[in-house]
Structure 1
Amino acid sequence: MVDPALLSVSIEFFAFPGYLNLSATQKCLSNIQALRGVAPAVRIGGTTQDRASFDPSLQSAVQYTVDSPLDAPDTLTYGPEFFELANTLKGDVTVGLNRQLNNITNTMLAAVEAKKVVSGLLALELGNEPEFYASGSPIIPSGTTWSPTEDGASQKAWFTSIQSSVGDIFQAAVYLQYPTWSTTGLIPLLEGAISYVKTFSGHSYPQSACGGASTNLQTLMSHSGIVSYTKQYAKEATSAHSQNKRYFLGETNSATCGGGGISNNFGAGLWVMDYLLQGAMNGVERLYFHQGTIGNCAYCFWGNDTFAPFYGAMFVSEFLGSEGDVDGSGSKLVMLDNGSSSLGAYAMFSTKTGEVLRVLVYNSAFFSGSGSRSSEVVSLAGLKTSATLRAKRLTAPASTSLAGQGITIGGSGTFDASCNSVGSQVFESVVVQSGTASVTLKASEAVILYVN
């Protein structure tokens, strides 16, 4: 069974109040909810959670100073209104709190406030990607080296100290540098404090745009590449599940440092779709796609506009559907291809009848927008129906197309700056002959076939 909130959202800590001031935020979330039946979960955290201090007397949600609105603050304070905003979210909420500054008293104050105010609170994170804590971080004792062992002892101590005030509600690990830093390695270090842990989380970005690093859209969106990359999650998920804990990618997206020059392209939207499904195939129960600084975030689903990755998020949400959307019994995700080519195929099966509900096929071949565009014919055999099937297509003029440059769902369906649907989404017809249906996909296209 696929978690109804498989596709969820992470929002950078300092930017969270700003996101709730955007008209697109609630609309984009509700659009996904309409397709999945449950609101996406939201994790509020990131680098700036470890720069933030809670001020119970602060009259605003956050307070900080930056040279440019496109910058993230080096330090910030936040007040009770921050949690009141979090309480307006419709799905599960995870809140990231500061551990790097080593002020457990302040973090406990914030944790208690979050538990009191946020009715949908699922978990609390203490620290974000602690493997990157610098030698000058207050949490690191002078003269010592921060290591997985040191951090495991720290997580254990903090969970133990705060648990009596908030309960067994912690999201542990939150590491990016797998396998050196991992859920698998952390579990034995927590010892009895593992009973205070509700969920485990890893962070993951297939590429980096930090410090001038190069990114490659063709590599990112490759189906075989996605299959290969996501296999690393299986061991981490298995370790968490062995302790009867859930395993999430609590922060993920296409490339670190906001995504560079590739993450706002149509190909990145196709990547969202395929990557999400491969995460689920490897035991990840939720993937939280990170939304960074408003106006300075290539991989964001939305901001002051609705961006290309959101099209992939909507398309895969329609494929997954809502629990019991046909017969009330729920559905199961199955991968149909072997993961070795540019073509991907998935099916949703009814857990009650075993029948195919929907099939998603994806041609991950890159198309620059010039020259001849290749195509592939995908055939689905063994269908029990002789009826003509409905199909819906996600396409664009090129892998590099941006929102507003011809990206469409169902022929002419798009989204405006506030995430409202624009245009009409129509179905194609696919004839079934002798139990086989065939559909043609151009390079960088995906199609959903509705079987039942």
Structure 2
Amino acid sequence: MSWCMQGTYFFMLVAPIVSAIEVTIPLAAPSGAASVMGNLVSLSIEQDRWVDWAGSTEPNTFFNNVLDNLVQITNTPPFLRIGADSEDHTDFSYDIEYEENMFSASTAIMPYPEAYSTIVGQGFYDIISHLPQGTQVHWGVNLREHNLTAVYLETVALINAFSSPAVVEKGITLKFIEVGNEADYYHDDGSRSKNIWNVQEYVSEWEEFAYNVSMTAKLSKTSYTKLIGAAFAGSSHNNLNGFSPQAIFNLGILKSPAGQLIETISQHLYSGSFCSGGGAVLQDLMTKSYIRGNISVFNPDIEATFANGLNYILGETNSMSCHGTPNVSNTAGAALWLLDYSLYATQVGISRIHFHQGVGYKYNLIQPVTLDYSIIDGSPIGSLAPHIQPPYYAAIIVAEAIGTSGTTQAVEIVIDENNVSGYAFYEHGTLSKAVLINTIAYFAGAGARNSTHIDFSFTGSGYTAKEMSVKTLKIRYASDTTNLTWGGQTYETSDGRVSGPLTVDTLPVSSGVDLQETEAVLVTFL
């Protein structure tokens, strides 16, 4: 083979492949388009280290900054759920100012475990005043320990905090109280007998404790604060003998005095598990069909919830359970997963998604305090200052797509392509933006980086834009844990604020866009 032929052969191996597709977008919001609020991407925070997130004597500036970034984009703070596993290990004491925790030993699988005991005082609740103005809160109280006195004291402290002048002045509100976390697991964690714990026992117990909470908090059908229903880890769906919204509805929970105060059903969803270690494949997490399959199994639950006139949220979710999988949940690829996952969820009726966070968890969007040992394997690392992780960029992109109009609707764009997802956004019923995501994981050493060229066509009547701005989430490799940029800017700063010059391309709509592997763009039609 001659040198010339060798050179030609080499070029054929490394030259990127550019495929081309055409996507059709309605100019006006289709009937039934999902309404999306600015707090679509919200947070669930492990309760045991709430003081680290909020700050004790003064606010945690870094955490407030990264929340405020989202407020500035949407005029809406993220909704915070405070609870999860440690809500069911929390007790109140008048002798404690903030909190005292007892933790299991750190392991390579779980370097930052949840507390198995958390004792809190009034100050633990009062620091809710440190949150951004207008924040709505969903707070969990302890059902697992079956202690009415403990739940009574927690509820009194909650109501005292949310009625304090500092909290009222900032418009921070207690929207939901959650009684118990993942009660469907109580027979597995040893808190209930496997022989007798079932959904019937759960409903009976929940009604007793939730009634106590509602009376203590003076809740009513007209009060702002309501109760959350379910908060199950999984679902038996239409099997009424298991734990599911359908099962508790069938048992009449909504007719009970406390059940009449349920406004929203919350369920929990993870896309896999790292509880026993073992590998997870980043490409699998990112794959379009995998995302849709994980969410769509809850369609019967959502339909049953709507049939009872209630809202449906994912009150706790993230990539892999037990705090995430190393080099998967903390990567740039996970940012694209979170982006597609969040937007697809709106298409099946999920109105809000709370991504679970804990200090040192691998799947965090935000690490709110200095870390002393690795989130990957628990090894000492010295001192790692507060910082955002790649999935935070997805929250920013979702916020920018939704904007401030308060009228935004979203529809999935029909794309007959396994590795490209797209969503169109409408304000006041008129097409305004589109998000496009290439979910092929591009890794170092993979050779040429392929791309998909996307041309736009439009249907229906309405204004057809001639120009568009294109803002790109630039990612070097799917496995990267740092150095992403959004429109040329970074949020990987010491204070969590955006830095760097903004780079946005303005192009004719007729030119279409090129979307590389492991990349996302926000198109704004001008």
TM-score, structure 2 as length reference: 0.79
CA pair 198-115 structure 1, distance change in 2 beyond 3 A: farther
Deviation at 1:282, TM superposition (A): 0.9
Aligned to 1:310: 392
Equivalent residue, structure 2, for 1:109:
153
Partner amino acid for 1:188? N
Alignment pair present for 1:350 and 2:427:
yes
The answer for the alignment partner of 1:327 in structure 2 is: none
Match in the other structure for 1:335: 412
Shift of 1:227: 2.0
2:228 is the counterpart of 1:171: yes
Instruction: Quickly say closer, same or farther: Cα 1:376–1:147, change in 2 above 3 A.
Output: same
Aligned mate of 2:100, from 45, 48, 63: 63
Take 1:89 and 1:56, find their aligned partners in 2: how far apart are those partners?
24
Find out whether 1:77 has 2:154 as its counterpart: no
Is 1:369 matched up with 2:369?
Answer: no
* Maintained 8 Å contact 1:126/1:155: yes
The answer to whether the aligner puts 1:440 opposite 2:474 as a matched pair is no
When structure 1 is superposed on structure 2, of 378-387 and 265-274 the one drifting more is 378-387
Structure 1 residue 135: Cα displacement: 6.5
The letter for the 2-side match of 1:9 is L
Deviation digits for residues 165-208 of structure 1, max 9, x if unmatched?
A: 22142111011122342222222221412202132100010111
Q: Per-residue deviation at 1:49? A: 1.1
* Secondary structure in structure 2 of the residue aligned to 1:14: helix
3-state SS of 2:478 partner: coil
Structure-1 residue corresponding to 2:523: 449
Verify the 8 A CA contact 2:143 2:179 in the aligned structure 1. yes
Q: Does 1:276 align with 2:349?
A: no
Measured in 2, the distance between the counterparts of 1:25 and 1:339 equals 40
SS in structure 2 at match of 1:284: coil
Q: 1:97, CA displacement in angstroms? A: 0.9
Residue 195 of structure 1 corresponds to 260
Task: Structure 1: give runs of 5+ residues left out of the alignment.
Answer: 325-329
Q: Percent identity?
A: 24
Q: 1:251 to 1:300 in 2, by over 3 A?
A: same
1:380 matched to 2:456: yes
* Cα pair distance change 1:64/1:423, threshold 3 Å: same
Check if 1:151 corresponds to 2:151: no
Pairing 1:288–2:367 present? no
Deviation at 1:281, TM superposition (A): 0.9
Task: Check the 8 A contact 1:222/1:364 in 2, yes or no.
Answer: yes
CA-to-partner distance for each residue in 1:271-317, whole Å, 9 max, x for gaps? 1111111111111111001101x23x111011121111101111121
The superposition leaves residues 51-84 of structure 1 with CA deviations (integer Å, 9 ceiling, x where unpaired) of 111113422x211234569343221200111111
Tell me the amino acid that sits aligned with residue 63 of structure 1.
Answer: E
User: What is the identity, as a one-letter code, of the residue corresponding to 1:445?
Assistant: E
Root mean square deviation of aligned Cα: 2.0
Local SS of the residue matching 1:441:
strand
What amino acid is aligned across from residue 179 of structure 2 in structure 1?
L
Per-residue deviation, 1:137: 4.5
Which residue of the other structure, out of 472, 483, 499, is the alignment partner of 1:393? 472
Q: Mean Cα displacement is larger for which, 442-451 or 106-115? A: 106-115
Change (3 A) 1:143 1:203: closer
Aligned residues: 435
CA contact (8 A) 2:54 2:130 kept: no
Unaligned runs of 5+ in 2: 1-34, 163-171, 221-225, 237-241, 368-385
